[in-house]
């Protein structure tokens, strides 16, 4: 156990020695902590510059947009929508006219059918009356012929 304690003490001394150790860069002396902080500051600055550059590119893209072309495109789209609306209205009116014509034809066919059925019924009634009259005439003639076979009627 004593060896473990000695080893821990040596490890702490090495850590302290490393933390206090100075590194020379371009003739300047820095500690590890100062180098880590400097690296963080430099990377933050570089990231900020890169983000600014990207933002500048986006602003340039927006600034270079041709607003007139968009307005012309919108006007063209509006004209097409208006044209479609007009066409839909015309089609609607044509359909109304077609429906009215079909209704008129159906009503005409119904009237014609009723008139035809009325005529057929009238013809059937007349035919039945004629048939009854014919039957009566034949029956009368038969009865006369049976009543007086020698008369010749």
Q: Structural domain tally of the chain? A: 1
**Is position 77 within any domain?**
no
**Is position 76 within any domain?**
no
Q: Give pLDDT, residue 97.
A: 94
**Is position 2 within any domain?**
yes
**Is position 101 within any domain?**
no
**Is position 43 within any domain?**
yes
Q: Pull the structure tokens for residue 91.
A: 């089609």
pLDDT tens profile 97-107: 999 999 999 99
Assess contact for 32 and 39: CB atoms under 8 A.
no
**Is position 146 within any domain?**
no
**Is position 134 within any domain?**
no
Q: Give pLDDT, residue 148.
A: 79
Mean per-residue pLDDT for 77-88?
93
Residue 25's domain spans which residues?
Answer: 1-67
pTM score, whole prediction: 0.42
Q: Give pLDDT, residue 21.
A: 73
pLDDT-derived band of residue 19, with 50, 70 and 90 as boundaries? low
- The alpha carbon dihedral of 21, 24, 29, 32 has a sign of negative
Alpha carbon distance 117, 120 (integer Å): 5
Residue 152 has pLDDT above 70, yes or no: no
Closest by CA position to 20, among listed 9, 7, 29: 29
């Amino acid at each position: 156990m004593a060896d473990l304690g000695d080893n821990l003490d040596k490890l702490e001394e090495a850590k302290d020695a490393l933390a206090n150790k100075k590194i020379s860069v371009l003739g300047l002396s820095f500690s590890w902590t100062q180098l880590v902080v400097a690296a963080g500051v430099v990377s933050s600055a570089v990231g900020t510059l890169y983000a600014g550059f990207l933002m500048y590119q986006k602003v340039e893209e927006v600034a270079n947009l041709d607003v007139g072309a968009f307005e012309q495109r919108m006007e063209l789209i509006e004209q097409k929508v208006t044209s479609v609306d007009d066409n839909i209205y015309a089609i609607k009116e044509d359909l109304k006219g077609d429906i009215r014509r079909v209704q008129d034809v159906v009503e005409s066919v119904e009237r014609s059918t009723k008139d035809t059925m009325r005529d057929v019924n009238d013809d059937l009634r007349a035919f039945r009356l004629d048939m009854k009259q014919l039957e009566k005439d034949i029956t009368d003639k038969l009865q006369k012929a049976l009543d007086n076979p020698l008369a010749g009627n």
